[in-house]
Amino acid sequence: MLDVRHATVAFSAPGGPLVRAVDDVSFTIPAGTFVVVIGTNGSGKSTLLGAIAGTVRLDAGSIHVAGHDLTGWRENRRARYVGRVFQDPRAGTASSLSVLENIAVAACRGRPVGLGWATPQRLRAEAAQRLAAIQPGLEKRLDQPIGSMSGGQRQIVSLVMATWHRPELLLLDEHTAALDPASADRVVQATAKLVRDQKLTALMVTHSLEQAARLGDRLLLVHRGKIAVDVEGGAKRRLSPEDLASRFDRLRRADQLDDPAARTLRDLYA
Amino acid sequence: MITLLATWTFGVTLALVALGVFVSYRLFAFPDITTDGSFTLGAVTTTVLLVAGHDPALATLGGAAAGAAAGACTGLLHAILGIEPLLSGILVTTALSSVNLVVLGRSNVPLAGTATLLDRAEAIFLPATTAAGFGDAAAEAARLIVMLSAVGIAVLFLWTFFRTNLGTAMRAGGDTATMARALGRNTGLLTVAGLAIANALTALSGAFVAQVQGFADVQMGIGMVVWGMASVFLGAALVGPVRLGGALVATVAGSITFRLLVASALRAGLHPDWLKAATALVVLAALIAPRLLTRRPQASAAR
């Protein structure tokens, strides 16, 4: 379960006004729910995800995962409960290490590391089995440097790594945005399968309206640092990409009306 | 014969510096200038302990431990205070030049008449090398065997350590910090540990060099980081892309090759004053050679 209470993150450019990238946001994701987050560029959705992951410090509010207050925790400590997949496959995997060695590091997620052998036969067998289950063929590449794989394959391995031990919360940060459509599709299918099989609580940020409409049990649309739309259940299932596009349009138009420059122009010509 | 063997011994001894630089620069992408200071620190610490009559093995380990502490200092400056890698190393190595002078007491201390770890180990292999017909060079040959064993042990240690859970996490953190942090690792601490290991190896090399040449000098570490990089790059250029074990062996081979190149250059008439400049040129050549040899750039992995 994820519980975000009154989360606020403010930035200020030197000499510029204070901007609330995340503005008093509260929401709860019950255990086992798959939530999709969309938003315009600069809406604050990435900052919100960073605040949950621990890369961005909250100015006010709190973050609880599975009953644990993570608010003041550093990013690496949060790994005990949170699994993450990055947008850039190169950020989520260590290129010079083999696929199996990457998995070995993931097998220690949130646990103290000792001097035990990193890649024992047992780990190799389980890694082969899990990779084969999600994308047959990958299990034959355990000893290759992960840097030699395609972005899509690396994201599949990243997913297996993030969920090697079932995380209390899985954070997916536009994890298909850097991929070609065919690879993105495979990664989306793998994501849906893992979330379903492990009954994960997941938060996925995406740019794709098509993914946002098709995936997840609930949808949050973030706009100007706030949650502008929150749909779940039957309403979420009935959402189409076109619905989402028109909602975006409406928000943008409302924005323009709200824009001081637009208002000045309107006043001049009124 | 003796000269050739001595060249080899020196190259093998300095391979420990190359292994240290391999750890800091290749595994952690940390250009660690501390190398210059910690090499001397290892030499002076061991020399002072030997002269004071301590057990040679203990004295040698003491030198390595001092180097580890120096490396940890550089790591802490970077990880805790956020000072950039080059500057952290410069600060520590500058401070070390005072420390080294204070520890040694004067700029040069001979080890004549003091039993060293090398003398002791040499005695083990001397009967064998004498029997093998090395004649006058038997002692030098025994030394080479001692240093080859020491470097062999270091390579085995590194290969084993960097394949444990902790070592693999360190390599992951050095390669991609975002990934290691997302999986719960404190990448700052891992860097501190990595630099401690790197500088322990460098200081160990200094400790052995002092015993091989029979004296410690506060200037002896100057240029060691470039020497180490030259060996690492040369090794990489010799064998191409390989996994961890291969890269470690290549680094040792790079160090020996480089020492032989230097010896040949000197014999061919290169003035010793030009040695450091020639070293820098070799590093440059080793850096650009792989780029000139590969025809097309590697396709980007992330699409």
**CB nearest A76 (choices: B164, B166, B186):** B186
**A192 neighbors A134 (Cβ within 8 angstroms):** no
pLDDT value of position A14: 75
Does residue B34 or residue A20 have the better pLDDT?
Answer: B34
> With 50 as the cut, is the pLDDT of residue B302 above it?
no
pLDDT value of position A268: 53
What's the full length of chain A, in residues?
270
Question: Is A261 inside a domain boundary?
Answer: no
Q: Which residues of B touch A180 (CB under 8 A)?
A: 303
- Determine whether the interchain pair B302/A95 forms a contact, defined as Cβ–Cβ distance below 8 Å: no
Q: For the segment A160-193, what is each residue's pLDDT rounded down to a tens digit? A: 999 999 999 999 999 999 999 999 999 999 999 9
Q: For the segment A186-211, what is each residue's pLDDT rounded down to a tens digit? A: 999 999 999 999 999 999 999 899 99
Q: For the segment A216-225, what is each residue's pLDDT rounded down to a tens digit? A: 999 999 988 9
Q: For the segment A5-61, what is each residue's pLDDT rounded down to a tens digit? A: 999 999 877 777 788 899 999 999 999 999 999 987 788 899 999 999 999 999 999
Question: Is A158 inside a domain boundary?
Answer: yes
> With 70 as the cut, is the pLDDT of residue A261 above it?
no
> With 50 as the cut, is the pLDDT of residue B300 above it?
no
**CB nearest A93 (choices: B163, B179, B181):** B179
Predicted TM-score of the model (pTM):
0.91
> With 80 as the cut, is the pLDDT of residue A92 above it?
yes
φ/ψ region of A241 (left if φ > 0, alpha if ψ in -120 to 50, else beta) reads alpha
**A62 neighbors A79 (Cβ within 8 angstroms):** no
Give me B14's structure tokens.
Answer: 């300095």
Question: Is A135 inside a domain boundary?
Answer: yes
Contact map slice: A 127-166 vs B, CB within 8 A? 147-152, 154, 161-162
pLDDT value of position A133: 95
User: Measured on CA atoms in the order A187, A189, A193, A196, is the torsion positive or negative?
Assistant: positive
In chain A, the number of structural domains is: 1
- Determine whether the interchain pair A108/B187 forms a contact, defined as Cβ–Cβ distance below 8 Å: no
Q: Per CB distance under 8 Å, which residues of B are interface residues toward A? A: 161, 163-169, 171-172, 175-176, 178-187, 243, 301-303
Share of chain B residues as helix, strand and coil, in percent rounded to the nearest 5: 80, 0, 20
User: What average pLDDT score do residues B52-64 get?
Assistant: 96
Q: For the segment B172-193, what is each residue's pLDDT rounded down to a tens digit? A: 999 999 999 999 999 999 999 9
Q: For the segment A103-147, what is each residue's pLDDT rounded down to a tens digit? A: 999 999 999 999 999 999 999 999 999 999 999 999 999 999 999
pLDDT value of position B240: 77
CATH of the domain at A20: 3.40.50.300
CA distances from B267 to B3, B137, B223, B254, B261 (A): 11, 20, 21, 20, 10
- Determine whether the interchain pair B181/A96 forms a contact, defined as Cβ–Cβ distance below 8 Å: no
Q: For the segment B90-108, what is each residue's pLDDT rounded down to a tens digit? A: 999 999 999 999 999 999 9
Question: Is A103 inside a domain boundary?
Answer: yes
- Determine whether the interchain pair A115/B184 forms a contact, defined as Cβ–Cβ distance below 8 Å: no
Question: Is A173 inside a domain boundary?
Answer: yes
Q: For the segment B226-273, what is each residue's pLDDT rounded down to a tens digit? A: 889 989 988 988 887 788 999 999 999 999 998 888 888 888 998 988
d(CA B196, CA B194): 5
Burial B141-164 (b: 16+ CB within 10 A, else e): bbbbbbbbebbeebbeebbeebbb
B152 Cβ contact partners less than 8 Å away, ≥ 6 residues apart: none
Distance from the Cα of A135 to chain B's closest Cα (Å) equals 18
User: What number of other Cβ atoms are within 10 A of residue A112's Cβ?
Assistant: 8
Does residue B65 or residue B299 have the better pLDDT?
Answer: B65
Which ipTM value was assigned to this complex? 0.91
- Determine whether the interchain pair A97/B175 forms a contact, defined as Cβ–Cβ distance below 8 Å: yes
Contact map slice: A 45-64 vs B, CB within 8 A? 53
- Determine whether the interchain pair B184/A93 forms a contact, defined as Cβ–Cβ distance below 8 Å: no
Question: Is A262 inside a domain boundary?
Answer: no
Q: Which residues of B touch A88 (CB under 8 A)?
A: 302
Rounded mean pLDDT of chain B? Answer: 91
Question: Is A93 inside a domain boundary?
Answer: yes
Nearest chain B residue to A143 by CA: give it.
B243
Is residue B192 classed as helix, strand or coil in its secondary structure? helix
> With 70 as the cut, is the pLDDT of residue A265 above it?
no
Question: Is A221 inside a domain boundary?
Answer: yes
- Determine whether the interchain pair B168/A118 forms a contact, defined as Cβ–Cβ distance below 8 Å: yes
Give me B245's structure tokens.
Answer: 């074990």
Nearest chain A residue to B169 by CA: give it.
A105
pLDDT value of position A245: 87
pLDDT value of position A264: 54
- Determine whether the interchain pair A79/B302 forms a contact, defined as Cβ–Cβ distance below 8 Å: no
Q: For the segment B211-227, what is each residue's pLDDT rounded down to a tens digit? A: 999 999 999 999 899 88
Contact map slice: A 83-102 vs B, CB within 8 A? 84, 86, 88-98, 101-102
* B63 class by beta-carbon count within 10 Å (0-12 exposed, 13-18 middle, 19+ buried): buried
Burial A3-39 (b: 16+ CB within 10 A, else e): bbbebbbeeeeeeeeeebbbbebebebeeebbbbbbb
> With 80 as the cut, is the pLDDT of residue A254 above it?
no
d(CA B247, CA B270): 30
